[in-house]
Structure 1
Amino acid sequence: MEIKRIKNKEERKDAFYIRLKVFVEEQGVPRENELDEYEDVSEHIVLYKDKLPVATGRIRIIHGDAKLQRICVLKEYRKLGLGKVIIESLESIAREKDCKKAILGAQVQAKEFYEKLGYTQSSGLFVDEGIPHVEMTKQL
């Protein structure tokens, strides 16, 4: 298993591949909405297992806080602890950047996963791309 901090647009293709598989094909998010204006200002990571890209996430710094986004694992690699590895890697990057808090929009079905990693719900229910979410935060 290897985590790679993506350095250029060429390498970013692996992150986009995973996101398109999970969010667009599996969850029905329109492709044009999945890739957004924040791609170039975010830092992306990809987790490789047996040299295959299987999980990804990105981080943006907003007013000194770390916004963790686009966290996903390919269906056939779930329940292996890879999501936790992605979150911990993004939190590590956030600490490097002197962030004191991490914020994320959690799909409701993943809320318990994030709670186990120390996140607490910080908003009411909202819908993003037809999927119910809650905002969650964690002090770093």
Structure 2
Amino acid sequence: MQPNSNNIVVLRAEEEWQRAGAYSVRIQGMNRLHHISLREEFDEHDGDGTKYIVLLDAGYPVATCRFFETVPGHVTLGRVVVLSEYRGRKLGVMAVCEAEKWIAECGYSVIDIESRIEAVQFYEKLGYVRVDNSVVRSGVFDCIRMWKSLPAR
């Protein structure tokens, strides 16, 4: 299958089969590629109340992200994963932007993330700002805390 960003379908994963697509991308992109255990990749935030975006290419899940409420008005966005053969096609941007639309529709005003250090510039281009320059450990990755305020609805 040749990767092609022109045929990408975006799903708001609200059914189990759709969430399975998100999990498939995370298993391939994190568990297999980075040797992160399933227990580390799938945490207490996977389950009820967590929302997932899944991008499909000809029905095949190729990118995902998730978000969940942390405190009223705030969500944490994370687990942004694009399969390696689909990188460089702006699918990470597409997943995050679709999540932001859904987050705004749900009435949230602030998005928090823990960005892997190598992805900080990716998030800065999308309007996220650093909380500070402190490095925090998130699983096996060194991260920088970032946030973004959404326009009032």
Range class of TM-score, shorter chain = over 0.9
Larger radius of gyration: 2
What's the TM-score, normalizing by structure 1?
0.94
Task: Note if 1:14 corresponds to 2:26.
Answer: no
Give CA-to-partner distance per residue, 1:56-108, whole Å, 9 cap, x none.
01110221112101111000000100000011011111111111111111111
Aligned residue pair count: 140
Aligned to 1:115: 124
Report the Cα offset of residue 14 of structure 1.
Answer: 0.9
Report the Cα offset of residue 6 of structure 1.
Answer: 1.0
Contact 2:114–2:138, Cα closer than 8 Å, also in 1? no
Query: Which residues of structure 2 form unaligned runs of 5+?
Result: 1-7
**Given residue 145 of structure 2, which amino acid in structure 1 is its aligned partner?**
E
SS at match of 2:64: strand
**Given residue 68 of structure 1, which amino acid in structure 2 is its aligned partner?**
L
RMSD: 1.2
What's the TM-score, normalizing by structure 2?
0.87
Distance 1:90 1:114 in 2: 13
Within the candidate set 47, 50, 62, 1:42 is matched to 50
**Given residue 107 of structure 2, which amino acid in structure 1 is its aligned partner?**
D
> Which aligned runs of 4 or more in structure 1 are off by greater than 3 angstroms?
none
SS at match of 2:111: strand
Within the candidate set 5, 10, 25, 1:3 is matched to 10
SS at match of 2:27: helix
Percentage identity across paired residues of the two chains:
27
